[in-house]
A and B are shown apart, each in its own frame.
Chain A
Amino acid sequence: MTRVTIPVGPQHPLLKEPLSLRLIAEGERVVEATMRLGYVHRGIERLAEERSYVQNLHLLERVCGICSHVHTTTYCQGVEALLDLEVPPRGLMLRTLLCELERIHSHLLWLGVLAENIGFSTVFMYAWRDREIVLDIMENLSGGRIAHAVNVIGGVRIDLDSDQIDAIRRSLDELHGQVDDLVNVVEHEQTLKARTQGVGGASLEQIRRHCAVGPVARAAGLDRDLRRDAPYAAYDRLSFEVVTESGGDVWSATRVRVRETVESLSLCQQILDDLPPGEVAVRASRRVPEGQVVARAEAPRGEVIYYIRSDGSDSPARIKIRTPTLPALSMVRERLRDINIADVPAVISGIDLCVACADR
């Protein structure tokens, strides 16, 4: 049978960001896949060395659009450790609130993208309509829908009064009803299951060999979530369940993410119920003493890790960022071998791509 090369990207309806895949197919089966990254590489690690720690807050938020807050959260955690600062509890709780809102936003966005890519545009429309509720909450909190600029070194720059808290609670209740409907669709709708069940299966062994993280790993049975295993921000004060499945296929990943959304809603309610009084930030000096720090956080897509080295000046000597999409991309090259062409959208969407994160 003749082999044809199907280009997926850099521009393709399937991809929201440029990524180049070359699928070599025989008939309707893909036999080989090659990948090229770097289309959105902006050299952020190098740029960060030439900016002050405060300017880097602005820069690092723009590594990714969907998980912008968790990037600055991890960065601030690292710098606050170097400065030996303790963020007040109220500040930590507000930081965590936005982390969880961002997780809900990211999962709803991803659900819509997956649905659209398998031809289920109704779920796409519903998920993105519900996402608007979260975006409105974040806009009321911080002034921005996607780039919130809430973190400062030493805490957060926003505060909530009781009116805002009530408004957020009402919106979250409304969202809860909608998300329950989406959970129902994911668990029971036959055509969605037909397109995602048994597709793109990854064994726990594959997950381990590629060091994959996040919902993709949890869908294959890896019981790891940094919010529970290495608590940061206010997670040691909050209770939630880590959602795992065992199938490893796209349907399992979908179930994991949708149920994580429900858990995040519960976390947001807990935070709003228990918001301690007090300050939201402490003052931080511009110069950071010499030292090195490794900071980790659980982004919507998995573990994000920052290594920061300071040389005593007001500008970092080295910032290294590794985002969760990178190991997922490494794994997807393997997953794309020997599958049906029609399963390619489900497999690629199933790993929740964020190419801007991977390329930095």
Chain B
Amino acid sequence: MDERWRSLFHDYSNSSFIEVLRRESPHLIPGHEAPRLANVVEPIHGTTVLSVRYRDGVIMAGDRQATAGYQVASRHMEKIFKSDELSGVGIAGAAGPAMEMAKLFQTELEHYEKVEGENLSLEGKANRLSQMIRMNLPAAMQGLVVVPIFAGFDEKAGVGRLFKYDITGGRYEETNFDAQGSGSKDARDSLKKLWKRDMSRDEALRASMEALIDAADEDVGTGGPDLVRGIYPSVKTITRSGFGDVPEDEVKRLCEAILGERSRSGNGA
């Protein structure tokens, strides 16, 4: 058989950006050479990102603080990234590789969409991210762990869906909510009490903020709403009509309301 045309059929990865990079510029692939970390290097860790399913889709929210050891590395880091019109990733773990992965994932989805002329299914996107996390395993073994959370709107099913991952790329679908990062346990505990079936956008937003504030309360690696500097968690909604920001004003008002109630009732003490 003629090699030239056979490869067209067997090379099913024609629409994959990662495969293009692997062939043409392998040095650009993250984790291509797993770094040997000396113990003195302190990778940036500490985060809470979460995702909550509600009536129209999913909410993704994350705190804004990046930590390096006992130091604050950044106060206004963005941890929720739009991966395409109908999905987003929240990153947790080592900041550098995690942001690189979010960027690569976003390019991968866009590349597929442009070449094929249509979007990957949500299932396909979730699997692709899982393979990318597995690619990072050598680096993860050196301490540069990346464990994102992925959420999106499934057009076929007409519902929001969310997925969590482990460092080997294992993919687990969660039905209602999930959180990731150093403060994730506290956020999950709080969501467990607040989550209800068929929540409205406002209810889901409220539950997400309560959970993030709880996480910031208990976990030193998670930043709470910073009223002095005016830095608030970043919150996104993903619904049938696309990926959208929740305006900062609205987040600000909500945070202030929650904190006000807590200080009045003595709950925040």
Query: Are A and B physically bound partners?
Result: no
Residues of B within 8 A of A (CB): none
Residues of A within 8 A of B (CB): none
